[in-house]
Amino acid sequence: MTVLSTLAPVPSDEIFALNRAYATDDNPQKVSLGVGVYRTDDGKPWPLPVVCEAEQRLLAEDSPFRHEYTAIEGDMAFLELARDLMFGFSSKDTSEELQNTKGRIGSVQTVAGTGANHLGALFLATQMKPKRVWLSNPSWANHLTIWELAGVPRKTYPYYNATTRSLDFTGMMATLEEEAEEGDAILLHACAHNPTGLDPNKEQWKEIADLCERKKLFPFFDSAYQGFASGSADEDAWAVRYFLNEKPNMEMCVAQSFSKNFGLYGQRVGAFHYVLPNGDQKLRDIVVNNLCHLIRGEYSMGPTGGCNIVKKVLTNDELTAQWHEDLKIMSSRIKSMRKALYEELVRLQTPGSWKHIVEQNGMFSYTGLTPSQVYALKDKYHVYLLKSGRASISGLSKKNVTYVAQAIDDIVRNVN
């Protein structure tokens, strides 16, 4: 008898299972609103022009070192660029104050944003040992898996008001105020909350920061969409930078992904940043050392291909400027598709309010559709989205938005 005789199956990942179902569907009108990847108006992948240019330049350089090992913590030049992008540091600022702030941050390269989240959760579980981690309800499904595997008990705070289809900020703050305890970790989406597309405004972020400081909670930011959500890398990093600069005595960490904002989904480019309290720079190297210990036992070092592309772009003023233009192209198309879907549903007089579609931001919309309506959309119209009603807006186009709106209108009228 095998030692695995008691092994039980685990549920398939819904997003990847949905994508497989879509791929095998031969209906010509099928629409994928499931997987979170950017698509053009023709429904095709879009290698960013700036990424293509960076690839050509790297190919021309023909560096004999391009396949070599890096350090366990990763490519040091890349890490400085990633840190500066995340926290808004200028390479031209040589002030003592900025150097002190940089000295509070320990950074390592990871296997994309998922790897950064996992590494951070594992590091906190082994070193800080929080009693629990607070996740938004709902949150990215993989957050639950990551913290489960790290062995940290999970609790949720209210985030989405299903009745108004808006942010339940009052419920969030009340729950954390009453139930969160000193030393708890709290997972915060830096921008473009997945799956709802709802973010706190700046005044609400300030209240969240005050609560974390007062109750001695540990903020864990997941930044997967910097620059992709609004088109501005600075605007999308506002919350992280506020915590860093206005709460200098508070520890926190940031999981940073380059999948969405560089279109490097398969290259797995990411970084993890641990921010120490003001005056504790001497601990930075010890933090990095311990993170490297975990990295060495898992993947030894981050992959170099994608990080070389990011490094090439962010070390060249011309390419950096082009990247910012590419971000605007992606974010503006997403916004235009939100507007088009909303206007079509209004034109059809689809029952209910659909204003939330344009009030949300980023790649996803929490449509408010029920699981039975989602299943009906797939079975009758071959429109694929998650059973929670989360739709990837990038799957919409000028060619299919009318069809999708009509499908939603029919399903809403006829399926509970």
- Same-domain status, 77 and 204: yes
- Same-domain status, 187 and 150: yes
Q: What is the pLDDT of residues 307-323, one digit of tens each?
A: 999 999 999 999 999 99
Q: What is the pLDDT of residues 218-240, one digit of tens each?
A: 999 999 999 999 999 999 999 99
pTM over 0.85: yes
Task: Please determine, for residue 3, whether its predicted confidence score (pLDDT) is greater than 90.
Answer: no
Q: Which of 315, 343, 365 is the last residue of a domain?
A: 315
Task: Please determine, for residue 61, whether its predicted confidence score (pLDDT) is greater than 90.
Answer: yes
* Residue (of 156, 146, 152) closest to 125 by Cα position: 152
Report the number of distinct structural domains present in the chain: 2
Percent of the chain with pLDDT over 70: 100
Confidence of residue 272 (pLDDT cuts 50, 70, 90): very high
Task: Please determine, for residue 43, whether its predicted confidence score (pLDDT) is greater than 90.
Answer: no
- Per-residue tokens: 262: 């560089």
CATH number, residue 153: 3.40.640.10
- Same-domain status, 89 and 232: yes
- Same-domain status, 79 and 120: yes
- Same-domain status, 238 and 384: no
- Same-domain status, 146 and 273: yes
State the first-to-last Cα distance of the chain, in angstroms, to the nearest integer.
48
On whether residue 55 sits in a domain, the answer given is: no
CATH number, residue 402: 3.90.1150.10
pLDDT of residue 281: 72
Q: Containing domain of residue 344, as a range?
A: 14-46+332-414
Task: Please determine, for residue 10, whether its predicted confidence score (pLDDT) is greater than 90.
Answer: no
- Same-domain status, 281 and 167: yes
On whether residue 51 sits in a domain, the answer given is: no
205 flagged as catalytic: no
On whether residue 6 sits in a domain, the answer given is: no
CA distance 73 to 196: 33
- Which amino acid is residue 327, in one-letter code? L
Q: Output the furthest CA–CA distance in the chain (Å, rounded).
A: 67
Mean pLDDT calculated for residue range 158-180: 95
Q: Which of 315, 346, 367 is the last residue of a domain?
A: 315
- Same-domain status, 358 and 410: yes
Mean pLDDT calculated for residue range 181-208: 96
**Mean of the per-residue pLDDT values for the chain?**
93
On whether residue 59 sits in a domain, the answer given is: no
On whether residue 309 sits in a domain, the answer given is: yes
- Same-domain status, 121 and 257: yes
- Same-domain status, 95 and 184: yes
Least confident of 31-40, 54-63, 256-265: 31-40
Q: Which of 282, 315, 348 is the last residue of a domain?
A: 315
Mean pLDDT calculated for residue range 242-251: 95
Of 280 and 372, which is predicted with more confidence? 372
- Same-domain status, 243 and 94: yes
Q: In what helix (H) or strand (E) does residue 173 lie, and over which residues does it extend?
A: helix 169-179
Q: What is the pLDDT of residues 64-103, one digit of tens each?
A: 988 989 999 999 999 999 999 999 998 777 888 888 889 9
Task: Single out the catalytic residue among 46, 134, 140, 354.
Answer: 140
Q: In what helix (H) or strand (E) does residue 206 lie, and over which residues does it extend?
A: helix 202-215
**Placement of tokens 């000028």 in the chain:** 398
pLDDT of residue 91: 78
323 flagged as catalytic: no
222 flagged as catalytic: yes
- Same-domain status, 33 and 178: no
- Residue 414 CB neighbours (<10 A): 10
Task: Please determine, for residue 278, whether its predicted confidence score (pLDDT) is greater than 90.
Answer: no
On whether residue 114 sits in a domain, the answer given is: yes
Task: Single out the catalytic residue among 147, 168, 184, 260.
Answer: 260
On whether residue 128 sits in a domain, the answer given is: yes
On whether residue 170 sits in a domain, the answer given is: yes
Task: Single out the catalytic residue among 168, 184, 199, 222.
Answer: 222
